[in-house]
Copies of this chain bind each other. A is one copy, B any other.
Amino acid sequence: MTSNKMARSEETRRRIYEVALAAFREKGFEETTMRAIAAGAGVATGAAYYYYESKEAIVMAFYAEAWASMQEGLGAAAEAGKKTPLEARLTRYVEVKLEAFAPNRGVLRALLRNGADPASPVSPFGRETAPMREADMVWLAKMVADQGLPKDLGPHVPAVLWLYQMGIVMFWLIDESAGQERTRELLRVSAKAVTLLLQLSKLPLTRPIRRTAVELIEIVRGVA
């Protein structure tokens, strides 16, 4: 009985979710009303709010689901054989993310509105998304584990790479070029630049500038 009830409840939740995503895709986030979502799912407005405390929470649910679905791909990218260069692994990592998000790119744009405010629960920098962020960084740490990075910079690299990939994703969200062609270009060039900088950071010659970079990173991370 309990499982029956739960199953029916989950089914209602799912129906609301599917209707909402379809509507977001078709008419956009702003233009889709909770009334229309509820009506489309065959429930009252209040019922929709029973399952999702806000319209943005539905988008957040999609974000979490997409994130879960991409873990396998992220792991494969991060832990690709040692013969795969870091640049290729990093590029693949970001591609996996974009591919998982792609069907609902327009939907995710709704999250941009609160994207910069760490106080917002739905911000990629916010409290609610912390577990996903940390899991991301575990993959990224594995990705660079074999790179022999300097002791001072090494511990910060996963966080820096996380910020890097988040930057690419945000760029992709606002990228209006056909098929987001510019984002591919940006990913190609920037992945090369990032891996080059990481290699350069290992040279004794670059130690002074590396120390400045580490200092900057530590100031910035101290706030977050």
Bound CA–CA A114/B213 (angstroms): 29
Do A176 and B223 have beta carbons less than 8 Å apart? Answer: yes
Contact of A116 among B115, B177, B196 (CB under 8 A): B115
Q: Work out how many copies of this chain go into the complex.
A: 2
Known: A114-B113, A193-B213, A209-B196. A223 touches B174 (CB 8 A): yes
A45 interfacial contact with B, CB 8 Å: no
Give the residue among A112, A175, A192 with the most B Cβ atoms within 10 A.
A112
* A134 at the binding interface (Cβ < 8 Å): no
Q: Does A186 contact B (CB under 8 A)?
A: yes
Residues on B with C-beta less than 8 A from A170 are 116
Interface residue A147 (Cβ < 8 Å from any Cβ of B): no
Does A215 have its Cβ within 8 Å of any Cβ on chain B?
A: yes
- Give the docked Cα–Cα distance between A222 and B186 (Å): 11
- Is there an interface contact between B116 and A220, defined as CB atoms closer than 8 Å? no
| A219 → chain B closest CB, angstroms | 5
Residues of B contacting A223 with CB < 8 Å?
A: 171, 174-177, 182
The verdict on A120 contacting chain B, using a C-beta distance below 8 Å, is: yes
CB-CB under 8 A from A185, the residues of chain B are 219
Inside 8 A of A129's CB, which chain B residues have their CB? none
Ordered by A's residue number, 7 sampled pairs between the chains whose C-beta atoms are within 8 Å are A113-B119, A113-B120, A118-B174, A176-B223, A177-B223, A193-B216, A196-B209
